[in-house]
Structure 1
Amino acid sequence: MDVVPGEQYRYALANFRIAHEKVESQRTQLQEQERQIALLRQRIGRLEGADDSRSATATGGTSSVDDFSIKNAASALERQINRYAADTMRTPPNGVPLTQLRQAVITDMSASPDHVSAGPLPMVVQNLLRHAMSEAISESVINCFVVTNSAEANVQLTRIHENIFAKDPTVASVWRRQTFSAAIEACTRPIAHAVLQDAAPSLAALLMPDGPDFVPDEWMSIVDAAHSFSRMLHGARAGGEGDAFYRAFVPEMAGTMRPSEIELVKRCIRSERGEMDRVGATVFPGLVKVTIESGEELTSVVRRAQCICTCALNVSWTPSTPVQQRT
């Protein structure tokens, strides 16, 4: 049997103890790092709206910081749209008759009226203006990535994102956030003019008769606010689902009122009597969260559209095209 000298044994034992202590120290550090990472992930999840049962219990609900930001920004934008519509109704540009403003929106939104009461004409015009402006900011600001001052480039960027998202939502999420990190901070007047011109050309001709270089400051403020709202939605991870993104939708005039998608801002007498009613006007867009599951695009409503029914608006629309939900 080989005998190890005592000094060599003590040296080996000391080295083993030192190595063991280092390994134990590293293990402790790794455990602490894992704990900190878990806490960080939990914190990020709460900030982005993840379903955290402990957070829900502590706060009494599942509302997240992200949802709160969306609610505040949307409410501020809605107030701006309503104020501009009210000011336009009270003081039409160049003295344009209210009936002409009403007809312009009806023409642009592809609807024809069966009957419009002459009594509440100012109210009808105000809410039709809100509908047209909601359509404009939905399609040309929120659903179109306004990253540059070129409308054509923005359309191309939006299409690129759609193609990437269909193939790999995770890659699309990273691409989207990086793209919006370099987005313009304010829109030019030609861009603001194009926002309304693309959605409601007849109305744009009445509100902005002098062309894209002479856009009212009130409309510029609305477009800038909508652009900031869009940057907030697209420039960060969607609450709780990093691969998802937001899209606005505007229920069409004469469209079916779906409770899961629509919130009425005025009482609907017909619905209370159990009768069917339809959308009179959408005064602010709704928001859906878009995800991909098993290769299929899915949407879930995160904020319902603000609408007024036909009976509250005292109108009856006949759609000139089959009614479809715009999302």
Structure 2
Amino acid sequence: MAYNGQGMGDYVSAEQYRYALTNFRIAHDKVESQRVQLEEQERQVAILRERIAKLEGDSDSSVVNTAQKQGGQSVDDFSIKNAASKLERLINRWAAEVVRAPPAHLNDIRDAALSDLGGDDPGDGDAQSAQVQNLLRHAMSETISEGIVNCLIVANSVETNVHLTRIHENIFQRDPTVACVWRRQTFTAAIESCSPEMTSQILAEHIPSLFAILCGAPDQQGKLPAPTQSISAIIDSAYAFSRMLHGSRSTSGGNVDAFYRAFVPELNSVLYPRQIELVKRCMKSEVGDVDTVGACVFPGLVKVSKGGAAGVPNELTQTVVRRAQVICACALSAGAAAAAGGYTPGSGQSMYTTSTPSPGPQDYAGGGAYNGPQQQNMGGAPPPAGHAPPPQPGYGPPAGYGAPPGGYGPPAGYAPPAGYAPQGYPGR
């Protein structure tokens, strides 16, 4: 019987088998060792994250109005938009209530607002409700921007808050990361809300004339009056908004070492599209004319970071996160004119001119009686016998008017052409 050697290629020698088995065991041991090392690294990273979160204050649940993200609590563009919309509605409702039941004449409120905001002299014209309402919104936006958002409110003391704000600015100039950690850790021990005394100090510092009209003047000892309930609600909401911005990690724009600042365009300043957003239609801008700021109804937000430009590591970069909500001067004037009855939007009438009514019958002939013909009796009972209409002076041929000499007919010396004969009309 012959031997078939075709199946010799399906087998390996014992030496090759032992060599492959040894290498497999070595590879398996190395993979197991790497797995153990990765698990240990994950435990160390978890411990390190817990320590960082404790240092930055992420474990504190007192920071309100924040969105939960990976690695802790943070604030993003969506949460900023929602909180800003709620605060804007509060300001608008308060301004409408003041205009609806003003504590003083609207002219006095307008003059006080322009005095606090550094506006132009309004002149002798009467203030309109729309103008006063938007000026009140501008004044409150200015107070929130400079007195709350741009100042770290940590304690119920203006001097302490100003001092802490300067410390944060100095730290941020040196190291933004350390400033971010310091700011968040500081806000873990901040007050929950502003006291009435603190609110009165903020208002008296930024809008003293309006504060005296809306809340009253200081007493003989110099103590400021308490703010109204609606103003206190706005300040508390603004403080919660500021605490959300400064007391949480920022994920907007991918830079966690930045902080927010608010800005309000000045009255009568030029409109910059990158910084402002018009809430009403601007007629001048549509025709290419330059318009100015009439009132700012809500402040804008910028994110300040360090080392944004290439090659300039210490330069501060400001990125507009939310543009300021602004009403232009022409829209504010048009709204005041519409409230006064001189202009109605959508009527086709120009907002810069007023129409003159058509004169009535009594306005003709120098203000005298109407000299036109009287209305005739077009139906009904006939006039009584012997009735004659009264003479109408001014109607009829002028004095001295009569037929021309010789009567009506062809001129003298006129002869018809040869062969001409007048033709009668049919039926005659």
Common fold by TM > 0.5: yes
Q: Which residue of 2 aligns with 1:206?
A: 213
- Give 1:80 shift: 0.3
Q: Aligned equivalents of 1:122 and 1:304: distance in 2?
A: 26
- Give 1:286 shift: 0.2
Deviations 1:151-204 (A, max 9, x none): 110111111111111111111000000011111111101111122211111111
Identity %: 51
Q: Which residue of 2 aligns with 1:273?
A: 287
Q: Which residue of 2 aligns with 1:244?
A: 258
Counting matched residue pairs gives 278
Q: Aligned equivalents of 1:306 and 1:285: distance in 2?
A: 7
Q: 2:44 matched to 1:44? A: no
Q: Which residue of 2 aligns with 1:220?
A: 232
- 2:216 partner letter: P
1:282 pairs, out of 270, 293, 296, with: 296
Q: Which residue of 2 aligns with 1:67?
A: 77
- Give 1:34 shift: 11
Contact 2:156 2:194 in 1 (8 A): yes
1:24 pairs, out of 34, 54, 74, with: 34
Which ranges of structure 2 fall in alignment gaps of 5 or more residues? 1-22, 48-68, 219-223, 308-312, 335-428
Q: Which residue of 2 aligns with 1:137?
A: 144
Kindly report which structure 2 residues correspond to 1:1-327, keeping only aligned pairs within 5 A, or say none. 20=30, 22-29=32-39, 44=70, 66-93=76-103, 96-113=104-121, 118=126, 121-211=128-218, 212-239=224-251, 240-293=254-307, 294-314=313-333
Q: Aligned equivalents of 2:164 and 2:294: distance in 1?
A: 34
Kindly tell me: are residues 272 and 203 of structure 1, through their superposed partners in 2, closer, same or farther at Cα, counting changes over 3 Å? Answer: same
RMSD of aligned residue pairs (Cα, Å): 2.9
Kindly tell me: are residues 70 and 206 of structure 1, through their superposed partners in 2, closer, same or farther at Cα, counting changes over 3 Å? Answer: same
Query: Which deviates the most, 108-117 or 210-219?
Result: 108-117
Contact 2:73 2:249 in 1 (8 A): no
Tell me which protein shows more strand as a share of its residues: 1
Q: Aligned equivalents of 1:210 and 1:137: distance in 2?
A: 21
Tell me which protein shows more helix as a share of its residues: 1
Larger Rg: 2
Contact 2:296 2:324 in 1 (8 A): yes
Deviations 1:200-239 (A, max 9, x none): 1111111110543421010000000000000000001122
- Give 1:44 shift: 3.4
Larger RCO, structures 1/2 (Cα 8 Å, 6+ apart): 1
TM-score, length of structure 1 as denominator length: 0.78
Kindly tell me: are residues 87 and 20 of structure 1, through their superposed partners in 2, closer, same or farther at Cα, counting changes over 3 Å? Answer: same
Deviations 1:261-317 (A, max 9, x none): 1000110000011100000000000000001112111101000000000000118xx
Q: Aligned equivalents of 1:229 and 1:84: distance in 2?
A: 18
